[in-house]
Amino acid sequence: MKKFLIIFVALFASISSTLNLRADDHSETEPYNMQVNFCKLNEGVSMKEYSNAVDDYIKWSKKNDVEVYVSRQMPIFPHDNFVSNRGFDFQEILAGPFDITGKAWDLWRGSREGQKLAKQWQEKATCYVKMGHAYDQYLDQKALESDDDRVVSWNWCSRNDGVSFDELQARHDLMIQELKKDNVGLSGWVIVAPSTGGAQAPGDFVHLGFYEDIESFMEYKEAFASGGWENYYDYNENYASCSGEELYSDKVLNFPKN
């Protein structure tokens, strides 16, 4: 029975490459910005039309030297149901250094071409834009770089009363050591804390878990069912309370080469 500290977890290799992270199992890096756009297509607009607008933005970002990592996530197993729906069709991730993100937004808002692209984007979809601080915990670089199509789990958590940040990170450090021994399907781990526009976030922070495919995700779930759940419940009772995983497809749209 695998006593793996199974909880959630991970980040994209493309982000790690963008930010010049070390290609080892545990990358100790500075935090960086993660923007999440929660979007719903406007009436009569196809995903192809929307994708064309995003492609135009990516081309513009390259031309203006404000290129960041971009991916699109579609729900596979969301928390939504017939009586509770959050009202968006998909979410997009834009991740990169804080200075590049700031420069991109200023150009987007302050230049004629940027405003034109903004209008084009807003005509295609209604999006709520949020920002968070991302902290790498664990990366399996080889697995993350193997494909531009993968799946990602989201698990929102809030720190329990009386638990310090140091105590929470110490527990995470133990989990990192266990991941080095056996990652049971996981490709890595990143923690994201909402920072701007996140007052309605469903938790204090979210664990993002990336997997090469659903088969890898099910390897993780098998380890969970075979004993990992004990550590998960201990984490919820003594460190942070979590809402449970959702699963999304994740398609890389832009992967900066520098």
Quick: pLDDT tens for 111-149: 999 999 999 999 999 999 999 999 988 777 776 666 788
Query: How does DSSP assign 35-48, residue by residue?
Result: EEEEEEEPTT--HH
CATH topology of domain 13-254: Alpha-Beta Plaits (3.30.70)
By CB neighbour count within 10 A (0-12 exposed, 13-18 middle, 19+ buried), where does 161 fall? exposed
Residue 174 three-state SS: helix
φ, ψ for residue 209 (rounded to 5)?
A: -115, 120
Question: What does the pLDDT look like over 29-52, one tens digit per residue?
Answer: 689 999 999 999 999 999 999 999
Residues with Cβ within 8 Å of 157's Cβ and at least 6 positions away in sequence, in order, are 8, 203, 204, 205, 206, 207, 240, 241, 242, 243
Nearest to 247 by CA among 136, 158, 150, 145: 150
Residue 179 pLDDT grade (very low, low, confident, very high; cuts 50, 70, 90): confident
Give the whole-angstrom CA distance, residue 225 versus residue 66.
Answer: 44
> What is the reported pTM?
0.83
Distances in Å between the Cα of 9 and the Cα atoms of 41, 47, 87, 248 are 29, 29, 25, 13
Ranges of each domain in the chain: 13-254
The structure tokens listed for 44 are: 């009569």
